[in-house]
Chains A and B, each alone.
Chain A
Amino acid sequence: MSEGYLAATVGKPGLNIAIFLVFVLITLVIVFWVGRSNRTAADYYAAGRAFTGTQNGVAISGDYLSAASFLGIAGAIATVGYDGFLYSIGFLVAWLVALLLVAELLRNTGKFTMGDVLSFRMRQRPVRAAAAVSTLVVSFFYLLAQMAGAGGLISLLLGVEDNKSTFFDGQSLVIAVVGVLMVIYVLVGGMKGTTWVQIIKATLLLVGAAVMTAWVLGKYGFNLSYLLGDAVKHSPSGEKILGPGLQYGKTAISKIDFVSLGLALVLGTAGLPHILMRFYTVPSAKEARRSVVWAIWLIGIFYLFTLVLGYGAAALVGPETITKAPGGANSAAPLLAYQLGGEILLGLVSAIAFATILAVVAGLTITASASFAHDVYASMLKKGNTAPDSEVRVARRTALVIGLVAIVGGILANGQNVAFLVALAFAVAASANLPTLLYSLFWKRFNTTGALYSIYGGLGVSVILIIFSPAVSGSATSMIKSANFHWFPLSNPGLVSIPLSFLLGVVGTLVGGRERGAEAGYAEMEVRSLTGLGAERADAVAAHH
């Protein structure tokens, strides 16, 4: 290790690794323990539907408060001030869409995946294929973001720098380790194991953030105004960090980009497949509602913490130090921890951040693999004639493939701001999934053609616009800096792709015309969704205990 490496490292790498290993060990033991009772498909995908609303609510916040929330938002607030706050507001308000319009009805009508709900009154094979494709794409974007966060974090903690000249360097090794661990969690623990990892992680994250928040506020006599004043003093942008515009206020285009981001954030959550799938782990719609209520409170409180942590990092560490640190803005929260509590707190906070990444990638992997096995393999390829264990076997193999893809993709995306990458996943989810879900739950005439138009249309448009956006090429912060093939001016496609997808759903429905049996199918879905008639309860697990 050269001098440069050591200078860029904070804390003791050995201690950081040790604390992290303890977490991994504890969670692995739990995953092995609960994984023993996984037998049926309902066990593997939906944890036997035996979690309570409260447990699931904590697990949802564990799933949702990803590295983007902890590292990305705190980092964004620390460096660009108020504009970072928008992320947390969008991420939180979005839960009202899930609470009011989606969670309970979805719980009552589906079994494991989004495809279940859509295929109720439509032609099974095409809509399941579409739902699976969009689930895989959204989960892939989300995975990229988490893996990129892992790389940045490691560079800070272990002094492993991002070596641009080789594809596989020290950070890549860390990303690979994260990928392997996530696959183990999923294969061994199934949804039950994954859920427990998320519950543990959410608890650690909330407690950790609460302690740091109190600590920061304590330094300023619990006066937020003093804290903000000190942040202003240490920021090169001065007073500007207290109002919006630092990141997005420069040009007319960047202002529109900000609105586009805001729209994607608020409409994305209820279309995220790994969040939707969590509603199937509880026994009833009422418990699904309770889960969302818990999630909203926990997530809301956490985001209020990040406001203090972000400005706290600006005040106590300084935006310039943060930007120069390995990992860039993503390192604001760990650096703040080091400033407050030295090596030990840094080690703890980093372990929590790792746990966060691990838990979220595990949740994404199980969702994507479930969608492939349940919608593509069992329903389409085998037309429903599969033994449940062969379906689960396919899901496990898919998890392996997803692990590999995530590792390679994560190495490529290394170094990007994770909150920004997650926002792209939200844009794709809001475009491809939300319009289709809402139409199929509430619109009587909606049909197969409409669903295909809105899923493939929303998915295609949002992904194409991202590829040709300044986020991918042609600017200093692009993924590919050396090339410029962008023609779409906005970094976030939401403003165009979301309304377009809603429109395509209507157009497709009109083009498709009436389908035989569609009205009866809608009647059945509506009765089931509102009353919970015939919804699967927690019986699968009760039989095992």
Chain B
Amino acid sequence: MSTTGEPLPGEGNAFERIQASPEFVELRRKLRRFIFPMSAVFLIWYLLYVLLAAYEPAFMSIKLAGNLTVGLLIGVLQFVSTFVITTVYVRYANKNLDPAAEEIRERIERSQA
């Protein structure tokens, strides 16, 4: 369980310096800029679905083709949106978050070694 190359516990100042560094501020901005709006989007879209199911059953029961209803379509679209958001996030994280996080981590580990 070696966790060498990091500021010692209690050395809050070291962490506060890193936290205030422009690289770290940028990393946090990139993370939050993605995850907060995206969370809002999927939660609103999901709640819209729940409210439609609860209060507009007639609309949800409209048949589109054969026995396939609007409700089934929107339900399956919830699956599709979940898969899409997952894929988009992974791409974003691989491209924008991981390299920045790694760089900061390595820099700290080097400076402490």
Real binding pair: yes
Q: Residue A460 at the B interface, CB < 8 A?
A: no
CB contact between A93 and one of B6, B13, B32, B78 (< 8 Å): that residue: B78
How far is A71 from B18 in the complex, measured between Cα atoms in Å?
Answer: 50
CB contact between A300 and one of B34, B60, B79 (< 8 Å): that residue: B79
Interface residues of B in 52-69 (CB under 8 A from A): 53-55, 57-58, 60-61, 63, 65-69
Q: Residue A523 at the B interface, CB < 8 A?
A: yes
- Indicate if the CB atoms of A243 and B39 lie closer than 8 Å: no
Of all chain A residues, which has the CB nearest B57? A245
* From B35, B54, B68, B69, residue with most partner A Cβ within 10 Å: B54
Q: Residue B82 at the A interface, CB < 8 A?
A: yes
- Indicate if the CB atoms of A530 and B31 lie closer than 8 Å: yes
Q: Residue A515 at the B interface, CB < 8 A?
A: no
How far is A101 from B82 in the complex, measured between Cα atoms in Å?
Answer: 14
- Indicate if the CB atoms of A303 and B39 lie closer than 8 Å: no
When distances are taken between beta carbons in the complex, the residues of chain A under 8 Å from B51 are: 259
How far is A430 from B29 in the complex, measured between Cα atoms in Å?
Answer: 27
- Indicate if the CB atoms of A244 and B71 lie closer than 8 Å: yes
CB contact between A242 and one of B16, B61, B78 (< 8 Å): that residue: B61
CB contact between A243 and one of B27, B57, B105 (< 8 Å): that residue: B57
How far is A256 from B51 in the complex, measured between Cα atoms in Å?
Answer: 9
How far is A221 from B47 in the complex, measured between Cα atoms in Å?
Answer: 35
When distances are taken between beta carbons in the complex, the residues of chain B under 8 Å from A286 are: 98
- Indicate if the CB atoms of B57 and A249 lie closer than 8 Å: yes
- Indicate if the CB atoms of A239 and B61 lie closer than 8 Å: yes
Q: Residue A526 at the B interface, CB < 8 A?
A: yes
Q: Residue A279 at the B interface, CB < 8 A?
A: no
Residues of B within 8 A of A (CB-CB), count: 61
* From B27, B51, B57, residue with most partner A Cβ within 10 Å: B57
Min Cβ gap B39→A in Å is 5
- Indicate if the CB atoms of B82 and A296 lie closer than 8 Å: yes
How far is A289 from B3 in the complex, measured between Cα atoms in Å?
Answer: 22
- Indicate if the CB atoms of A534 and B6 lie closer than 8 Å: yes
* From A82, A89, A248, A289, residue with most partner B Cβ within 10 Å: A89
Q: Residue A412 at the B interface, CB < 8 A?
A: no
**How many pairs of residues, A versus B, come closer than 8 Å at their CB atoms?**
172
How far is A83 from B60 in the complex, measured between Cα atoms in Å?
Answer: 12
- Indicate if the CB atoms of B42 and A244 lie closer than 8 Å: no
Q: Mask for B11-48, Cβ within 8 A of A = 1, else 0?
A: 01101101100001001100110110011001100110
Q: Residue A389 at the B interface, CB < 8 A?
A: no
- Indicate if the CB atoms of B39 and A96 lie closer than 8 Å: yes
Of all chain B residues, which has the CB nearest A97? B39
Min Cβ gap A517→B in Å is 7
Among A28-36, A155-163, A223-231, A450-458, the one that faces the other chain is A223-231
- Indicate if the CB atoms of A243 and B83 lie closer than 8 Å: no
- Indicate if the CB atoms of B79 and A527 lie closer than 8 Å: no
When distances are taken between beta carbons in the complex, the residues of chain A under 8 Å from B101 are: 530-532
When distances are taken between beta carbons in the complex, the residues of chain B under 8 Å from A225 are: 65-68
Of all chain A residues, which has the CB nearest B17? A523
Of all chain B residues, which has the CB nearest A81? B71
When distances are taken between beta carbons in the complex, the residues of chain B under 8 Å from A348 are: none
When distances are taken between beta carbons in the complex, the residues of chain A under 8 Å from B50 are: 86, 90, 258-259, 262-263
Also in contact, A244 and B72, with CB within 8 A (given A225-B67, A517-B12, A531-B104): no
How far is A244 from B70 in the complex, measured between Cα atoms in Å?
Answer: 10
Also in contact, A300 and B82, with CB within 8 A (given A228-B66, A228-B68, A521-B12): yes
* From B28, B72, B90, residue with most partner A Cβ within 10 Å: B72
- Indicate if the CB atoms of B12 and A82 lie closer than 8 Å: no
- Indicate if the CB atoms of A520 and B85 lie closer than 8 Å: no
When distances are taken between beta carbons in the complex, the residues of chain B under 8 Å from A532 are: 101, 105
How far is A226 from B35 in the complex, measured between Cα atoms in Å?
Answer: 41
How far is A228 from B69 in the complex, measured between Cα atoms in Å?
Answer: 10
Q: Residue A255 at the B interface, CB < 8 A?
A: yes
Of all chain B residues, which has the CB nearest A524? B15
- Indicate if the CB atoms of B2 and A539 lie closer than 8 Å: yes
Q: Mask for B62-103, Cβ within 8 A of A = 1, else 0?
A: 010111110110011011001101100110010000100110
Also in contact, A249 and B54, with CB within 8 A (given A101-B35, A523-B15, A540-B1): yes
Of all chain B residues, which has the CB nearest A285? B101
When distances are taken between beta carbons in the complex, the residues of chain B under 8 Å from A240 are: 61
- Indicate if the CB atoms of B18 and A527 lie closer than 8 Å: yes
Q: Residue A338 at the B interface, CB < 8 A?
A: no
How far is A286 from B97 in the complex, measured between Cα atoms in Å?
Answer: 10
- Indicate if the CB atoms of A530 and B42 lie closer than 8 Å: no
Interface residues of A in 495-538 (CB under 8 A from B): 517, 519-521, 523-524, 526-527, 530-534, 536
How far is A90 from B82 in the complex, measured between Cα atoms in Å?
Answer: 11
Of all chain A residues, which has the CB nearest B32? A442
Q: Contacts A243-B57, A289-B90, A520-B13 known; list 13 others, CB within 8 Å.
A: A82-B60, A99-B89, A101-B35, A266-B43, A293-B86, A519-B12, A519-B16, A520-B12, A526-B28, A530-B101, A531-B101, A531-B105, A532-B101
**Could you name 18 residue pairs across A and B whose Cβ atoms are closer than 8 Å?**
A82-B53, A82-B75, A85-B72, A86-B50, A89-B79, A96-B85, A224-B67, A240-B61, A243-B69, A245-B57, A258-B53, A296-B86, A304-B76, A304-B79, A523-B18, A530-B104, A533-B104, A534-B6
State the A residues within 8 Å of B (CB). 42, 82-83, 85-86, 89-90, 92-93, 95-97, 99-101, 223-226, 228-229, 232, 239-240, 242-245, 248-249, 255-256, 258-259, 262-263, 266, 286, 289, 292-293, 296-297, 300, 303-304, 442, 517, 519-521, 523-524, 526-527, 530-534, 536, 539-540
4 closest A-B pairs (Cβ-Cβ)?
A520-B12, A243-B61, A225-B66, A262-B50
